[in-house]
Structure 1
């Protein structure tokens, strides 16, 4: 149909095992409601969900002090963690890199009495001013909430530096791994991250409507969503034990099964850079009409934002689709503060994002299309 470069929103191509596993769950007449019975149908579903949890723990190198709770996506996971952890009077430090899945819950909590500070970023490269993290810590600072990689520039945050700050100042660290889970190695074995929120439908190559959080079992959370747990029916409150604390109601068994299959595939096929991002950047930097945003001297994911001269990002993206069948994402990418920092709040950017299934031929075609538009 076309050439897909919107993988930072949702990966289009999935490993074949994903669809096979989802179809198996839906067609086998063997999978009931997990944790809602002692019969075989319920136990089958429980086993599938449990296998997916264990696969994710392996992927993130999480030890016995962590548990995985499933949600619909990273947005729900971040809402559950932030609203369950933060209380009136708490101070939180976050950054100009953040997606609205972090910003809007924090703005909502601000109306209930928490206070916020934002670490700024460079107007040239978008790089975070790391010194500001320590400068903004106060007596009531409780947590740092940070995006592992910007979904606008593709740049990675220095997580080791942030972990060190949190350890030294006894702060919780909540990480949004939406753009990195599955493509960047994430190691929780040092227990420097308290909650790692992820989504299934991006670089984990799972179905849409899947995601969750890998979090420390002793993280002091109050439940945001309450309901059935299948066990303590006479309790008036949500059981505190994870993952039940964050999994009120029936989980998405077919979706989680598909996610578990994709993560198992990732464990067997670790990501290896194919240098297509380097090719893309090198060729675009030869075009004076193209503005690329980000720092290309440091580790990053294959997410690239650009503009051509003074053209509106929506017009460029529409031309890429209508004339070349190239699918990109124009606009603000749900990251308004990043665009304010980069000076692109007036028109946004055109975002190209690759997956491990992106081919060199597709990248070359995208380069030629941009060259064509730039020369007009």
Structure 2
């Protein structure tokens, strides 16, 4: 199969990822932080080593504030719902937010009376930053934004937004679900207070892994309460990090795979333009040559993710995806991509879009086959 659904979950993974997971299951197996015997210590060392590697790679000052979750969604929920909210508090987000940010925000709006401003993006960086500045009030308690759109691949000006947030002493939460593993991210240099990312997308790690990295003094309350291994004598949740926000047994095999993925990522950090980004540009230019194909290009200058969003004539996106799967053995994503605000802006709520996305394991021959398939599908529907 030609797998062009990398923005949803990467496939295949580097061999080192599976090998590390198998080793964790077969040779460690113990519960990290829940015993003093050798296997428990080995598991705990693996967890600590992964925190330290993630903190180093992403510029988080304190590895104890590099927290493990089942996915980026859980990490974002902890970041957003972990604040103490009151009626009239205010949050700024963007109109490109995935539901992993939007729904927690709408939850605190419904439960606590928090006001939310969604900032539009039209490719004009200065205008975007001006709208952020104009939206800040005395009640603004958080700015939460995606680093890049999961629909179009547009990368947003996080660093410039962070500069505004810092001047007003407002924490900045960034969802790096589409950027982690594709472009360099340094929390200290960029001014990011909280960074959430999954292991299973651009980092090429296993599903069921995600992290929330917190820089500096951000006061978050835990969403879960329970066993933490340490501080068991205390009836209340410990105040110390990471135990404060991590209750229950961690996914040691998954974290072992994530550590291997992070190590693999280190070997690619020096690439100026990742080959998957170049492939996406080849596909985009090819699709634009097919009459009847509408492309939804990234808006703005500079970097964008290896994602190409498009539609064919007036065919529902899901129908095209089904044809690609059943007749051409090609996997893509179609629909609304859990990002309805984006589709409202693109005016594609009625049928969604087809999304092709790439990793380093894709190649130009696959892109050529894909273009041939889209050409045939387009021509066949023109005849109907």
Q: Contact (CA 8 Å) 2:59, 2:187: kept in 1 or not? A: yes
Is the 8 Å Cα contact of residues 332 and 354 (structure 2) preserved in structure 1?
yes
Asked whether the 8 Å contact 2:60–2:215 carries over to 1, the reply is no
Question: Is contact 2:4-2:358 (8 Å) kept?
Answer: yes
C-alpha contact 2:162 2:190 (8 A) present in aligned 1? no
Deviation sequence 1:11-47 (CA, Å, 0-9, x none) = 011110000010111111x341111122111100001
Moved more, 147-156 or 210-219: 210-219
TM-aligned CA deviation for residue 66 of structure 1? 7.0
- The Cα of 1:268 is off from its aligned counterpart by 2.1
**Mind listing any 5+ residue stretches in structure 1 that lack a counterpart?**
none
- Alpha-carbon deviation of 1:64? 3.7
Of 352, 357, 361, the residue aligned with 2:361 is: 357
Give the corresponding residue for 1:243.
242
Per the alignment, residue 121 of structure 2 pairs with 121
1:327 maps onto 2:305 in alignment: no
Q: Give, in whole Å, the separation in 1 of the partners of 2:325 and 2:157.
A: 35
Query: How much has 1:92 moved relative to structure 2?
Result: 0.1
Number of residues of Structure 1 aligned to a counterpart in Structure 2: 372
3-state DSSP of counterpart to 1:189: helix
- Alpha-carbon distance change, 279 to 191 in structure 1, aligned in 2, over 3 angstroms: closer
The residue aligned with 1:281 is 284
Which of the residues 355, 360, 370 maps onto 2:374?
370
2:308 is aligned to 304
Counterparts of 1:88 and 1:96 in 2: how far apart (Å)?
23
Corresponding residue of 2:227: 228
Matches within 5 A, 1:1-376: 2-28=1-27, 30-64=28-62, 67-89=65-87, 90-111=89-110, 112-122=112-122, 129-190=128-189, 192-270=191-269, 271=271, 272-274=273-275, 275-295=278-298, 297-376=301-380
Cα distance change, pair 172–139 in 1 and its aligned pair in 2 (3 A) = same
Query: What secondary structure is seen at the aligned counterpart in 2 of 1:198?
Result: strand
The C-alpha deviation readout for 1:79-126, integer Å capped at 9, x for no partner, is 01100024113200001111111111111111122111111234xx79
Cα deviation 1:215-256 (Å, max 9, x = unaligned): 125211111111111122232221122111221111000000
- Give the whole-Å Cα distance in 1 for the aligned partners of 2:37 and 2:124: 54
Separation of aligned partners in 1, 2:331 and 2:124:
24
* Residues 1:126 and 1:333: Cα distance change in structure 2 (over 3 Å): farther
1:126/1:293 contact within 8 Å kept: no
Contact 1:126 1:342 in 2 (8 A): no
Question: Whose helix proportion is higher, 1 or 2?
Answer: 2
C-alpha distance in 2, partners of 1:363/1:52? Answer: 35
Note if contact 1:328-1:352 (Cα within 8 Å) is conserved in structure 2: yes
- Give 1:161 deviation, angstroms: 1.1
Q: Secondary structure at the match of 1:351?
A: strand
| Cα distance in 2, alignment partners of residues 292 and 224 from structure 1 | 41
Q: Structure 2: where are the runs of 5+ without partners?
A: none
Q: Quickly say closer, same or farther: Cα 1:267–1:87, change in 2 above 3 A.
A: same
Give the structure-1-normalised TM-score.
0.95
